[in-house]
Structure 1
Amino acid sequence: MMTELSQAAVRGLLIAAQGLQQQKPHKVTEKSVRDIIRQMHVLQIDTISVVARSPYFVLWSRLGSYEPHWLDKLLEKGELFEYWSHAACFLPIEDFAYYWLGMMQRGNEEDNWRKWLVEHQEVAQRVMDYIRENGGTRSADFENTKGLKGGWWNHKEEKIALEALFNGGQLMIRKRHNFQRIYDLRERVLPDWDEAQAASKEQIHEQFVLNTLKALGVTKPEWIADYFRLKKADTLKALNILAEEDKVGRIEVEGWKTPGYYHFDNEALVNAAAKGKIPQSKTTLLSPFDPICWDRKRGSELFNFDYKIEVYTPEPKRKYGYFTLPILYKNQIIGRLDPKAHRKEGIFEVKAVHLEPNVEVDDAMVTALKATLKDCADWHKTPQVIVRTANVAGLAEQLNG
């Protein structure tokens, strides 16, 4: 009979697999940033900046205070690349071979981007020639040939060409400046790339399933596809092949109808958790685009936490706030808060704290959350923390500092 894992153990293993567990104090370096991205395999990009943009915030959640420009340097040095994965993401360069086929498929005749390039060959060639002659190029470097401003629906043709050529693998992102993409020819960004290194469709599916298992700790089969946006049928086929070849582990989980799957690199952690040695989380705040938050169904089932981003919800209809951050404490998501970093004023404002029902507030929780808010505020260079309201009497006053 298989050993059975508790739900608490599964939560702890997810937290450890994502690099969110408690750790002894250690020096954080540029290598730490690279290593944690390799551990997650993907770092989602988003531009909302009421606090640090999501890729930088996801790293802070795991590393604590660090230098944000280290992420930019890793991209410029070629240790990371940008492409579509779970969404637009920073990705480890060693995984490039698993994305090449997707780039080529985005360039096929049935793809909308490919159709646009076929219909606008002159524009595409002009963009390629300009970059070939001038090197790294921003979309802002092109004049608006139609005199239109703003909005996706009337982007200038050159910007669309840049995106289409990027999607098809002809251009890559050399670096970012003030978070603006700088495009260059793929052969200049990645001069040693050989198409013979590209993975097959089957290899891609199997590797992405393995990477997902490694990043999630122990998982249900139905939770796997979302991580790399695979089709469910392709995911299950790859998982079954890996299981038949004994390349993945399986273990019974409390309350699950079928065994959970795990990567053998996590086997020691899984065995320890089965014996009651469960990894414990640090106290931190999570970006809405953190891998922990991606799968709402998984979050609801594992953490009993229902989460929705309300950025696109009209303000009068918002329940919790514009850009709420889940609060991770002792392996549970205990609530969320609605922050805004006022960088000029040096103020880290929390408009509201909403703890989940039945969360018991004690001195240890208040101390841990207050320290986390202060660390987050200091990292933003907005050292004054102001908490406006909380749904627990007296909590806002206790957290102010």
Structure 2
Amino acid sequence: MNVTAAVPALSVSQARALHLSAQGLLARPRRRARKADLLDTIARMQLLQIDTIHIVARSPYLVLYSRLGAYPQSWLEDLLAQREIFELWAHEACFAPMSDYLLHRSAHSQRAHHWAIRNAEQHHQASGAKIDRLLAHIRELGPVKSSDFEREQAGGGGWWGWKDEKRWLESAFALGELMVARRENFHRVYDLAERVAGAVVPDWNTARLDAAAVRRETILKSVRALGLTQARWIADYYRTKPRLRDADLDALVAEGALLRVPVKGWDAPGYVHADHAQSLALAGAGRLRATHATLLSPFDPVVWDRERASEFFGFDYTLECYTPEPKRRYGYFVLPILARGRLVGRLDAKAHRREGVFEVKALYLEEDVAPDEALIADIARAIDDCARWHATPKVDLVRCRPAALRTPLRAALRALRSA
């Protein structure tokens, strides 16, 4: 069956709407979030990337906020402690639904190229006996934190700067012997996998998916999460290799698991999961309307693949927190601004929690974006909502580009605070 010919070509804006719909970013939430919504949202994305920077909210909390609106951040830790989600190395360090535990455990060999897995294997080869003694300690005395072990000397960050016990804990975690039982002040508490996954996943250590099943499931889950994607973007979602080609998806298209969709202006077709067939029809008819305006994390799935963000949004995004300050173009931890289906700009923000101030050090609109009254209102509301969720309700807008945006945006923010 020639599915490509059967599906009308989408415009890029229609493809983008389908992508945002699948990601839960098409429309503003209709009601206050419930704890179950967090799990549903993580399952919808498949993976929720973890990062510890907290200039504003830490990334996993912010990704959920962008989709759900205000919610208690403790709910994420609750889901982890209740074994509804677990931590793993996938794209990077991520949360995933516990219902996918066997898939990820079976995928371990397919991620052997990942830097975290490679480092873990090297440390295990060099310190296997010591890691075994640490596991025995945990088996006898219970879960541990890295801080339970004294540090003999100071050092830098990363694997190379950790004390031995931290490296051993992380090695055993990356290789699946340990899991994160819970977090305390966002610090990992490690326990044996048999006591974490083993408590909720039948046959956790014996059931396995074969390599073909793992490959199929990760492809399908990636496409479902992305809504619409080119073949070459799929592998990055779970950080597998190699990049896929259109020919690699022919069998899934032929059986109807995936739909191959032409997109105007693209040099390659898009792919849509069969579960999104109805949304595809709505997108093709122009009936998926993007109305949401919010701030995104730098580690949001919408922007973590630079090539994909460029194709969908014409948005060139690079995280600069690891770039030396003199070489930064925009700032340390810059949040993309999503407004009605477009990435219209970015802002360098910091939440001063003690003072109750949400500082916008700089806000940059994209060069082709006109700051009309409707857009200014959307941006003001996105900033104000995010500031209130941070418990930093006073917004200090320092600088804008274009500079003429600062006055009307400050006025719009004042109007929201006085409403």
TM over 0.5: yes
What is the alpha-carbon distance in structure 1 between the residues aligned to residue 368 and residue 121 of structure 2?
Answer: 53
Q: Structure 1: state its 5+ residue gaps.
A: none
What is the TM-score when the length of structure 1 is the normalising length?
0.94
What is the alpha-carbon distance in structure 1 between the residues aligned to residue 358 and residue 118 of structure 2?
Answer: 44
Aligned to 2:417: none
Give 1:173 deviation, angstroms: 0.3
Q: Is the alpha carbon distance of 1:355 and 1:107 closer, same or farther for their aligned partners in structure 2, counting shifts above 3 Å?
A: closer
Partner amino acid for 2:166? Answer: K
Deviation by residue 1:246-293 (Cα, 9 ceiling, x = unmatched): 221122221234432110111001011111212314001111100000
Deviation by residue 1:148-188 (Cα, 9 ceiling, x = unmatched): 44433242211111011111111000011111000001111
2:391 is equivalent to residue 374 of structure 1: no
Aligned to 1:180: 187
Give secondary structure in 2 for the equivalent of 1:197: coil
What is the TM-score when the length of structure 2 is the normalising length?
0.90
2:368 is equivalent to residue 358 of structure 1: yes
What is the alpha-carbon distance in structure 2 between the residues aligned to residue 296 and residue 345 of structure 1?
Answer: 35
What is the alpha-carbon distance in structure 1 between the residues aligned to residue 286 and residue 293 of structure 2?
Answer: 21
User: After alignment, is 390-399 or 87-96 more displaced?
Assistant: 390-399
What is the alpha-carbon distance in structure 2 between the residues aligned to residue 107 and residue 205 of structure 1?
Answer: 14
Q: Tell me the number of residue pairs that the alignment of Structure 1 and Structure 2 aligns.
A: 399
What is the alpha-carbon distance in structure 1 between the residues aligned to residue 303 and residue 164 of structure 2?
Answer: 35
What is the alpha-carbon distance in structure 1 between the residues aligned to residue 157 and residue 274 of structure 2?
Answer: 47
| Alignment partner of 1:45 out of 28, 40, 50 | 50
What is the alpha-carbon distance in structure 2 between the residues aligned to residue 166 and residue 374 of structure 1?
Answer: 39
2:218 is equivalent to residue 208 of structure 1: yes
What is the alpha-carbon distance in structure 2 between the residues aligned to residue 289 and residue 92 of structure 1?
Answer: 18
CA contact (8 A) 2:232 2:244 kept: no
CA RMSD of aligned residues (A): 2.0
Q: How does 1:23-42 map to 2 (within 5 A)?
A: 23=28, 25-42=30-47
Give secondary structure in 1 for the equivalent of 2:346: strand
Q: Structure 2: state its 5+ residue gaps.
A: 415-419
CA contact (8 A) 2:28 2:293 kept: no
What is the alpha-carbon distance in structure 1 between the residues aligned to residue 311 and residue 156 of structure 2?
Answer: 41
Give secondary structure in 2 for the equivalent of 1:224: helix
What is the alpha-carbon distance in structure 1 between the residues aligned to residue 232 and residue 124 of structure 2?
Answer: 36
Give 1:362 deviation, angstroms: 1.5
Give 1:310 deviation, angstroms: 1.1
What is the alpha-carbon distance in structure 1 between the residues aligned to residue 383 and residue 95 of structure 2?
Answer: 26
What is the alpha-carbon distance in structure 1 between the residues aligned to residue 49 and residue 261 of structure 2?
Answer: 30
Give secondary structure in 2 for the equivalent of 1:344: coil
What is the alpha-carbon distance in structure 2 between the residues aligned to residue 163 and residue 235 of structure 1?
Answer: 34
Aligned to 2:237: 227
Give 1:218 deviation, angstroms: 1.6
CA contact (8 A) 1:217 1:266 kept: yes
Q: How does 1:114-263 map to 2 (within 5 A)?
A: 114-144=121-151, 146-152=152-158, 153-191=160-198, 192-194=201-203, 195-232=205-242, 239-263=249-273
Give 1:234 deviation, angstroms: 6.2
Partner amino acid for 1:286? Answer: L
User: After alignment, is 341-350 or 303-312 more displaced?
Assistant: 303-312
Provide the identity percentage.
43
What is the alpha-carbon distance in structure 2 between the residues aligned to residue 276 and residue 366 of structure 1?
Answer: 25
CA contact (8 A) 2:29 2:69 kept: no
Give secondary structure in 1 for the equivalent of 2:400: coil
2:354 is equivalent to residue 344 of structure 1: yes
CA contact (8 A) 1:28 1:63 kept: yes
Q: Is the alpha carbon distance of 1:389 and 1:38 closer, same or farther for their aligned partners in structure 2, counting shifts above 3 Å?
A: same
2:21 is equivalent to residue 16 of structure 1: yes
CA contact (8 A) 1:205 1:235 kept: no
User: After alignment, is 308-317 or 151-160 more displaced?
Assistant: 151-160
Q: Is the alpha carbon distance of 1:391 and 1:101 closer, same or farther for their aligned partners in structure 2, counting shifts above 3 Å?
A: same
Give 1:133 deviation, angstroms: 2.1
Give 1:114 deviation, angstroms: 3.0
Partner amino acid for 1:271? Answer: A
Give 1:112 deviation, angstroms: 4.5
Deviation by residue 1:59-99 (Cα, 9 ceiling, x = unmatched): 11111111111111001000000001111000011111111
What is the alpha-carbon distance in structure 2 between the residues aligned to residue 151 and residue 257 of structure 1?
Answer: 42
What is the alpha-carbon distance in structure 1 between the residues aligned to residue 149 and residue 380 of structure 2?
Answer: 47
| Alignment partner of 2:332 out of 322, 335, 342 | 322
CA contact (8 A) 1:352 1:390 kept: yes
CA contact (8 A) 1:175 1:183 kept: yes
Give secondary structure in 2 for the equivalent of 1:164: helix
User: After alignment, is 280-289 or 313-322 more displaced?
Assistant: 313-322
Aligned to 2:81: 76
